[in-house]
Amino acid sequence: MNNLDLEGRGAVVTGSTSGIGLDIARALAAAGANVMLNGFGDRDDIEAIRRALADENGITVGYSGADLSDGDAATGLIAEAEAAIGTVDILVNNAGIQHVAPVDEFAAAKWEAIIAINLSSAFYTTAAALPGMKAREFGRVVNIASAHGLVASPFKSAYVAAKHGLVGLTKTVALEVAQTPITCNAICPGFVQTPLVDGQIDDQAKAHGLSRDDVIRDIILESQPSKRFVESAHISDLALFLCGPAGGSITGAALSIDGGWTAR
Ligand code: NAD
């Protein structure tokens, strides 16, 4: 879906060095937006991604290694982006981590990190980006939540709490800016095969003495009626749609893209 013209718009995608965030950054870049990348990884690999995106699309692409577990760094990312790409008209809060353990064995540091990265960072970036969006009378905030923003699974207390919180933040921001040309929505994917989920597959295979295929079929996709992973490209197409003109009346929504998971 590359018929959307986002030329001249500036987009920040948090956690865009890998997985879903990188695909969203690629989609926004292909639609002509200048893009600010963020996330961790090998510096040479990230620089190669940055340069390829810029060269292939004739746009400006910046990169910030801001650690979004730190609120000040999350706020600072918006100023860094304004310096690198001009404006922040589109904000995709995508950075996220996972940790799986029973609640009474959940390491406090893991709880704090998940709440900070998966939820609080979106508060800081949104608060920093909104004034510019209001001044320019255009804005799109897209929060990558999860099916776990709508329903729970055991052993994912911090992740489920953070993603439910992110859906709540989405609705509140949407209401606050409802009478402006700014929208705020959450996308709630089911399981997508990315490094984040690959880590879970490996952990479960080890814990239960199963093969990766058994874990995918019997554990990971157990709750996903389609029995297929959600395609990352389908999420970036939806994000792109929300950022374009046709997305202008959609706000405060939690949009499921989960192979039927939350229809149960
Ligand atoms: P991923 O592990 O491939 O990517 C995560 C990104 O976040 C990476 O770029 C990483 O460097 C970055 N990141 C991690 N900690 C960070 C920090 N402290 N500061 C800045 N960046 C940081 O994971 P993914 O599967 O692409 O997940 C992306 C988002 O989608 C997450 O919010 C995740 O919860 C959500 N999600 C994923 C799935 C899935 O099945 N993969 C399903 C639903 C929702």
Give dist(CA 90, CA 13) in Å, integer. 8
Q: How many whole angstroms from 135 Cα to the centroid of ligand 1?
A: 30
pLDDT for 235: 98
Residue 124 annotated among the catalytic residues of the structure = no
Q: How confident is the model at residue 140 (pLDDT cuts 50, 70, 90)?
A: very high
Give dist(CA 215, CA 39) in Å, integer. 28
Q: Helix count (H) and strand count (E) of the chain? A: 9, 7
pLDDT for 233: 97
Q: How many whole angstroms from 185 Cα to the centroid of ligand 1?
A: 18
Q: Is the pLDDT of residue 36 over 70?
A: yes
Strands 139-144, 61-64: parallel, antiparallel or unpaired by DSSP?
unpaired
Give dist(CA 154, CA 136) in Å, integer. 43
Q: Is the pLDDT of residue 4 over 80?
A: no
Q: What is the 3-state secondary structure (H, E, C) of 86-125?
A: CCCCEEEECCCCCCCCCHHHCCHHHHHHHHHHHHHHHHHH
Mutate to test the pocket of ligand 1, among 35, 68, 97 (most ligand atoms within 8 A of CB): 97
Strands 10-13, 90-93: parallel, antiparallel or unpaired by DSSP?
parallel
Q: How confident is the model at residue 5 (pLDDT cuts 50, 70, 90)?
A: confident
Query: Over the stretch 41-92, which tens digit does the pLDDT of each residue have?
Result: 999 999 999 999 999 999 999 999 999 999 999 999 999 999 999 999 999 9
Instruction: Count CB neighbours of 219 within 10 A.
Output: 16
Give dist(CA 53, CA 2) in Å, integer. 15
Catalytic-labelled residue, pool 111, 159, 229, 261? 159
Domain-wise residue ranges, the chain? 10-190+230-256, 195-229
Give dist(CA 1, CA 241) in Å, integer. 8
Q: Is the pLDDT of residue 8 over 60?
A: yes
pLDDT for 14: 99
The DSSP code for 42 is -
For ligand 1, whether the C-beta of 69 sits within 6 Å is yes
Q: What is the pTM of this model?
A: 0.97
Exposed, middle or buried, 191 (CB in 10 Å: 0-12/13-18/19+)?
Answer: buried
Closest residue to atom 33 of ligand 1, CA basis: 96
Q: How many whole angstroms from 16 Cα to the centroid of ligand 1?
A: 8
For ligand 1, whether the C-beta of 143 sits within 6 Å is no
Query: Over the stretch 144-177, which tens digit does the pLDDT of each residue have?
Result: 999 999 999 999 999 999 999 999 999 999 999 9
CA distances from 10 to 60, 183, 245 (A): 9, 15, 15
Query: Over the stretch 106-133, which tens digit does the pLDDT of each residue have?
Result: 999 999 999 999 999 999 999 999 999 9
Tally of CA atoms within 13 A in the half-sphere of 57 that contains its CB: 25
Q: What angle do CA 85, 31, 58 make, to 5 degrees?
A: 55
Give dist(CA 74, CA 93) in Å, integer. 10
Residues constituting the chain: 264
Q: What percent of the chain has pLDDT over 90?
A: 97
Q: How confident is the model at residue 2 (pLDDT cuts 50, 70, 90)?
A: very low
E strand or H helix that includes residue 159: helix 157-176
Please name the fold of domain 10-190+230-256: Rossmann fold (3.40.50)
Give dist(CA 20, CA 168) in Å, integer. 21
